Structure 1
Amino acid sequence: MKAVVFHGIGDIRLDDVKEPRIESPFDAIVRLTASAICGTDLHMVRGTMAGMKPGTILGHEGVGVVEEIGRGVRNLSVGDRVVIPSTIACGVCVYCRAAYYSQCDRANPRGTGTAFFGGPEETGPFQGLQAEWARVPFANVGLVKLPAGVTDEQAILLSDIFPTGYFGAKLAEIRDGDTVVVYGCGPVGQFAIASAKHLGAGRIFAVDTIPTRLAMARSQGAEIIDFNHEDPVAVLRELTGGSGVDRTVDAVGIDAECAESGPAKTSSDEHETFEKEVATVAPETNPQGHNWHPGHAPSQVLRWAVQAAAKGGSLGIVGVYPQAATTFPIGIAMNKNLTVKMGNCNHRKYIPKLLELVESGVIDPTEVLTQTGPLVSAIEAYKAFDRREPGWTKVELRPAA
């Protein structure tokens, strides 16, 4: 079968690989009808997430049809349309029973955190979903059946980014009337904005610098801030009467960039600090990578988030930070009595609820999906997505006919 395969930092290829097979009674084989490229996939390609093994199939978002099931899978049938939660969970261990699916002890017995498809060695590892077929372990828990009224285009966004954006809003403890800021207007940030609205936020600010992403945020009703033209901390304080924002969602993570111009332009001292962070977090990176240049600022969003937060506010972090990242402005956060929550999304917990919102027409997630293409164009799609070309907010891949 065809699959997008990691060969090394900056080197991914569309290869012919062996088709997957049942390895456990709780496995299922799914024929992928849609997969997607996520910002997290770019971490592996750029080298900001270490430990990737050459030969790993990339991708952790998928929708498809069940082709084969193991004898232990009793709630699915061959032919069922399903969405695949991107994090892998057994449903049996103490973490899964507490709905902390992203910390499943059986899926990742290494004890190093989340197991997900197409990730580095410390996450399992498991082959990914940017392929024609995939083996799904613990399929009785790891597959959610789709109603006929939900399309593949809608369902693919339930595999990861919609639940992650919603999870970020829940971590930030958004309630009726709250003033909220979302840093990063990529796909997860857009769903964090949509989720904040759904949870009753009174005002929502959105911080980014990509015009198409800011325009999409504004179309959702957010008040936008371009960090290359304004100092986001100063603007947020001004627009909140000096108090700062109640709730904050970091939907950027380690790939934050320095401000290049305007009042927020990064100082030489800050550049030096950020360069030291890059050397620690990602000593080996793709030399052709778009984002990994001297203007990269791994802890920038964390600094802005804490500085612009109101006293007693809360911060939800769903932007990806690798385990080597160690910088956080703890002193300011502590002295403001901030609540900070973070982590990888427990997708299996939220997908059924969000599926109901989509099926009932409350939220149509396809407004975020901006590019579609066959699997054979995956490599070019990765390049365009990495360059953050206008309009490339989210990318769906379909197997070639």
Structure 2
Amino acid sequence: MKAVVWHGEGDIRLDTVEDPTITEPTDAVVQITRSAICGTDLHFIRGTMAGMVEGTILGHEAVGVVTEVGSAVRRFGPGDRVLICSTMSCGACRNCRRGLTAQCDVANPNGPLAGTSFFGGPQATGPVNGLQAEYVRVPWAVNTLIPLPENISDDQAILLSDIFPTAWFGAELAGVHRGDTVAVLGAGVVGQFAIASAFRQGAARVIAVDGLQTRLVTALRQNAEIIDFNAEDPVQAILDTTQGIGVDAVIDAVGVEAQRPWAGPAKQAGDEQADQFDAERSQVAPKTNVQDQNWVPGDAPSQALQWAVSAVAKGGRIGIIGVYPPALTSFPIGAAMNKNLIIKMGNCNHHTVTPPLLDVVAAGLFDPTNLITQREPLTSAIEAYESFDRREEGWLKTELTVS
């Protein structure tokens, strides 16, 4: 079969690899119909998430049809349309039974003290081959797969494999309440869904911060207020529009790949921290393979965290869903403590978060497909990765058609 395979920093290829098979009674094999490219995938290619194993298939978002199941899989059978959760979970351990499926005690092959196990990630997450392929072996299939109703299309479902649930989870982490003013840092596709989620969880105002115009225009279409950090100091702009108080909650949808402002009043502050940011980048990305404009790590790893702490009101709340690798140790802990902030973070508990969102989409209350900006065949995945990595205007979410 064809699959997108990681061979090293800056080196991904569309390879022909062996078809997956059932290796455990809890497995299923799924024929992929839709996959997608996520910003998290770029961390592995840029080098900002170390520990990848050569030969690992990339990707953690997919929809497909079950072709085979192991003897312990009693919920699914061949021919079932399914959504594959990005994170794996057994459904039976202590954490799964309390809804903390991203921290399943048994799904990660590295043992119960290991963190989240997700498809297509580094050694610390498994590794488990990912979903940018024609077929995939799904461990712990009973809990990692979710059945799809007939009235949800593959195009809608692919955005429920990771992006929409993660954004919804981010708004929950930020404790969004009715009437809140919420800042969303980063208006990529996760940020866009965070805007939608914050409004649906009761926010009265949502302020989106980004540096790309097409992303800001998309946020504006969702009735968010927008701040271009290359034209304004985002923290000062947020304070100005909240009478100096700050927002009630912040959702960090940026993570370690933050970029310093290249113009405007915030540029000077970023430049003054250049040495700190450079040291952080060396810390999180000790090995890179920059090729012209591709695979360049972000140049301000802790910037979004600093902006979040500075822009939120005293006693406010921050939800972090942007990816930060274990190697990053910078956080403005003193400023956060002095403001009595509540800070929550983590990987989405997909198995528990996703089903209610499927109901929302199935009922026609929200159509996520408006945020798909590119549809490419799996055979064009490498070129699509390169365009997405360069942050080209208009490249928000790329769906990969597999079969």
What range describes the TM-score normalised by the shorter chain of this pair? over 0.9
User: 2 CA distance for matches of 1:133 and 1:294?
Assistant: 31
Q: Which amino acid aligns with 2:60?
A: H
Q: Which amino acid aligns with 1:194?
A: A
Q: What is residue 124 of structure 1 aligned with on the other side?
A: 126
Q: What is residue 299 of structure 1 aligned with on the other side?
A: 302
- Out of 238, 262, 267, the residue aligned to residue 265 of structure 1 is 267
Q: Is the 8 A contact 1:46 1:289 kept in 2?
A: no
User: 2 CA distance for matches of 1:258 and 1:324?
Assistant: 20
Give, in angstroms, the shift of residue 389 of structure 1. 1.1
User: 1 CA distance for matches of 2:94 and 2:390?
Assistant: 41
Q: Which amino acid aligns with 2:154?
A: D
User: 2 CA distance for matches of 1:290 and 1:90?
Assistant: 41
- Confirm whether residue 222 of structure 1 aligns to residue 249 of structure 2: no
When structure 1 is superposed on structure 2, of 277-286 and 379-388 the one drifting more is: 277-286
Do the aligned partners of residues 122 and 295 (structure 1) sit closer, same or farther apart at CA in structure 2, a change above 3 Å counting?
Answer: closer
Give, in angstroms, the shift of residue 348 of structure 1. 0.7
Give, in angstroms, the shift of residue 281 of structure 1. 1.1
SS of corresponding position for 2:267? coil
- Out of 363, 366, 378, the residue aligned to residue 366 of structure 2 is 363
Q: What is residue 168 of structure 2 aligned with on the other side?
A: 166
**TM-score scaled by structure 2?**
0.97
Give, in angstroms, the shift of residue 112 of structure 1. 2.7
Q: Is the 8 A contact 1:57 1:118 kept in 2?
A: yes
Q: What is residue 322 of structure 1 aligned with on the other side?
A: 325
- Confirm whether residue 332 of structure 1 aligns to residue 325 of structure 2: no
Q: What is residue 380 of structure 1 aligned with on the other side?
A: 383
- Confirm whether residue 256 of structure 1 aligns to residue 251 of structure 2: no
Instruction: Kindly report which structure 2 residues correspond to 1:45-84, keeping only aligned pairs within 5 A, or say none.
Output: 45-84=45-84
CA displacement 1:38-85 (0-9 Å, x = unmatched): 000000011111010110000000000000011111111210100000
Give, in angstroms, the shift of residue 324 of structure 1. 0.3
SS of corresponding position for 2:315? strand
User: 1 CA distance for matches of 2:67 and 2:140?
Assistant: 15
User: 1 CA distance for matches of 2:343 and 2:237?
Assistant: 22
Q: Which amino acid aligns with 2:84?
A: I
- Confirm whether residue 153 of structure 1 aligns to residue 152 of structure 2: no
Give, in angstroms, the shift of residue 392 of structure 1. 0.8
User: 1 CA distance for matches of 2:356 and 2:36?
Assistant: 21
Do the aligned partners of residues 290 and 346 (structure 1) sit closer, same or farther apart at CA in structure 2, a change above 3 Å counting?
Answer: farther
Do the aligned partners of residues 7 and 150 (structure 1) sit closer, same or farther apart at CA in structure 2, a change above 3 Å counting?
Answer: same
Q: Which amino acid aligns with 2:258?
A: A
CA displacement 1:272-300 (0-9 Å, x = unmatched): 11001011111111212747669710000
Q: Which amino acid aligns with 2:235?
A: V
Do the aligned partners of residues 295 and 147 (structure 1) sit closer, same or farther apart at CA in structure 2, a change above 3 Å counting?
Answer: closer
User: 2 CA distance for matches of 1:390 and 1:237?
Assistant: 28
Do the aligned partners of residues 294 and 102 (structure 1) sit closer, same or farther apart at CA in structure 2, a change above 3 Å counting?
Answer: closer
Percent identity between matched residues is 60
CA displacement 1:106-165 (0-9 Å, x = unmatched): 111422311000000110110000000000011111110101100000000000000000
SS of corresponding position for 1:361? coil
User: 1 CA distance for matches of 2:296 and 2:367?
Assistant: 36
CA displacement 1:216-251 (0-9 Å, x = unmatched): 100000000000110000000000000000010000
In the alignment of these two chains, the number of paired residues is: 400
User: 1 CA distance for matches of 2:355 and 2:302?
Assistant: 34
Give, in angstroms, the shift of residue 266 of structure 1. 3.8
User: 1 CA distance for matches of 2:360 and 2:293?
Assistant: 36
SS of corresponding position for 1:56? coil
Q: Is the 8 A contact 2:360 2:366 kept in 1?
A: yes
Do the aligned partners of residues 76 and 292 (structure 1) sit closer, same or farther apart at CA in structure 2, a change above 3 Å counting?
Answer: closer
Q: Is the 8 A contact 2:294 2:386 kept in 1?
A: no
Q: Is the 8 A contact 1:274 1:297 kept in 2?
A: yes
User: 2 CA distance for matches of 1:234 and 1:262?
Assistant: 12
Instruction: Kindly report which structure 2 residues correspond to 1:182-193, keeping only aligned pairs within 5 A, or say none.
Output: 182-193=184-195
User: 2 CA distance for matches of 1:26 and 1:173?
Assistant: 35
Q: Which amino acid aligns with 1:197?
A: F
CA displacement 1:190-210 (0-9 Å, x = unmatched): 110000010110110000011
User: 2 CA distance for matches of 1:45 and 1:293?
Assistant: 9
SS of corresponding position for 1:341? strand
User: 2 CA distance for matches of 1:399 and 1:351?
Assistant: 23
Q: Is the 8 A contact 2:256 2:323 kept in 1?
A: yes
Q: Which amino acid aligns with 2:372?
A: L
Give, in angstroms, the shift of residue 398 of structure 1. 1.1
User: 1 CA distance for matches of 2:11 and 2:291?
Assistant: 10
When structure 1 is superposed on structure 2, of 92-101 and 5-14 the one drifting more is: 92-101
Q: Is the 8 A contact 2:281 2:298 kept in 1?
A: no
**TM-score scaled by structure 1?**
0.98
User: 2 CA distance for matches of 1:373 and 1:329?
Assistant: 41
Q: Is the 8 A contact 1:271 1:295 kept in 2?
A: no
When structure 1 is superposed on structure 2, of 106-115 and 32-41 the one drifting more is: 106-115
- Confirm whether residue 106 of structure 1 aligns to residue 106 of structure 2: yes
C-alpha RMSD of matched pairs (Å): 1.2
Give, in angstroms, the shift of residue 94 of structure 1. 1.0
Consecutive unaligned residues in structure 1, runs of 5 or more: none
